[in-house]
Amino acid sequence: MSKNLYRAGLASLAVTLSATPAVAAEATMSGADTAWILTATVLVLFMTLPGLALFYGGLVRANNVLSVLMHCFAIACLASVMWLIGVYALAFGDGGGAQAFIGGAEKWFLLGVGQDTLSGTIPETVFFMFQMTFAIITPALIVGAYVERIKFSAVLLFTGLWLILVYAPVCHWVWGGGWLGEMGVMDFAGGIVVHVTAGTSAVVLAKVLGGRRGFPGELRPPHSPGLTMIGASMLWVGWFGFNAGSALAADGAAGMAMTATHISAAAASLTWAVLEYIRFGKASLVGIVTGMVAGLATITPASGFVGPIGALFIGIAAGVVCQYAVDMVKQTLKIDDSLDVFAVHGVGGALGTLLAAFFGATALGGMGLAEGTGMGGQFVTQVIGVVAGLVWSALLTLLIIKVVQATVGLRIDTEDEIVGLDLVSHGERGYDL
């Protein structure tokens, strides 16, 4: 369902509304809603810069930390410009005859959008900026799959094509008036749009790119778990803007989404740490903060639909399922998804999307499903949404990789990998040792 639908309130889930930012002429701006979404926009950007950058930066070797920061920063800049030029229009514009699949070109460069143009009860420029931060962090999540071994030019080309071919269509399907939204898929803040797309593309790219030198037996541990914890803490705070901001109003729905988000993150962190202790005899700092991110990713699609009890169980499920998914990807499949993007975000986003069909029901403490829809029927819709996002992301990512390989190339050579991307790609060092 679209974000404009969420704005109308969870009680109106059964009502079919237009998912584009255009609204009726009699709509008026709410100062409270506008102030909250301005704040949420800042929080979501804070998740990427500096939150995600520091979280990922601490997990790599010392001679690659600056490259990770550079990737996140450059992606933020590129995605912002592309969002203005046309990706916003493709995601949220009126696609005419193709409306079920993609938006149109009428709002490229925000043409026709002024200070007084509204999207619900907020200015469309604010809606534009809020959604831009989602378009920034989603490809930035993929950074974790290719650290320490990819060309910087490949990062930029891959990201640009990915935003056009993967993110914009799936975003439009779910939130922009497309076929998944019309079907009634429940994705409050990006389980499919953000986490399934990024996680799937990450594991595909990691598989094609190949493992880091020494994978899987001779990899060095994270160079700065403390830096990772600082970044993770920023992610936790910023995620309130991500989920509670997706209510697009300063109301009870935003408050419940924030509550569910926090409970899930805390439950997943504790679950991950306890499971680590049971399995390995120690609970690690990197483990507990990874569990937190898994809890946040998993609650994201369900945050506006479930109550605190549902959030608690979703967080526990995230801590267990995502931890074993990490082992499956690296040890069983032998794919060097370096910072576990698929296991944490892809699996977590899919898990939360599916569980929303159950914990969203009033019988399990949720806000209620659409009128006439039961748990079973909603679950089928959720499965269709997850599969559609996964398959589209995988196929289009393979196509994008082929283009990148044929143009700028994908991977640095072995000698450069030993030196590290900080010096090889950027001519700088993270630490003067």
State the pTM of this model: 0.94
The whole-number pLDDT of residue 9 equals 39
The whole-number pLDDT of residue 7 equals 39
Please tell me the distance from the alpha carbon of residue 387 to that of residue 42, in angstroms, as a whole number: 32
> What single-letter amino acid sits at 129?
M
Distances (CA, A) of 127 to 39, 78, 121, 300: 12, 19, 10, 19
The whole-number pLDDT of residue 397 equals 98
Please tell me the distance from the alpha carbon of residue 107 to that of residue 87, in angstroms, as a whole number: 9
The segments of the chain whose pLDDT lies below 70 read: 1-26, 433
Please tell me the distance from the alpha carbon of residue 373 to that of residue 294, in angstroms, as a whole number: 29
Please tell me the distance from the alpha carbon of residue 79 to that of residue 139, in angstroms, as a whole number: 9
Please tell me the distance from the alpha carbon of residue 427 to that of residue 109, in angstroms, as a whole number: 35
The whole-number pLDDT of residue 26 equals 60
Q: Domain 33-422's class?
A: mainly alpha
Please tell me the distance from the alpha carbon of residue 74 to that of residue 83, in angstroms, as a whole number: 14
Q: Which residues are 270's β-sheet partners?
A: none
Please tell me the distance from the alpha carbon of residue 292 to that of residue 165, in angstroms, as a whole number: 30
Residue 119 falls in which region: left (phi positive, over 0), alpha (psi -120 to 50) or beta: beta
Tell me the pLDDT tens digit for each residue of 170-218: 999 999 999 999 999 999 999 999 999 999 999 999 999 999 998 988 8
The 3-state secondary structure of the chain, one letter per residue: CCHHHHHCCHHHCCCCCCCCCCCCCCCCCCHHHHHHHHHHHHHHHHHHHHHHHHHHHCCCCHHHHHHHHHHHHHHHHHHHHHHHHHHHHHHHCCCHHHCCCCCCCCCHHHCCCCCCCEECCEEHHHHHHHHHHHHHHHHHHCHHHHCCCECHHHHHHHHHHHHHHHHHHHHHHHHCCCHHHHHCCCCCCCHHHHHHHHHHHHHHHHHHHCCCCCCCCCCCCCCCHHHHHHHHHHHHHHHHHHHHHHHCCCCHHHHHHHHHHHHHHHHHHHHHHHHHHHHHCCCCHHHHHHHHHHHHHHHHHHCCCCCHHHHHHHHHHHHHHHHHHHHHHHHHCCCCCCCCHHHHHHHHHHHHHHHHHHHCCHHHCCCCCCCCCCHHHHHHHHHHHHHHHHHHHHHHHHHHHHHHHHHCCCECCHHHHHHCHHHHHHCCCCCCC
The whole-number pLDDT of residue 4 equals 45
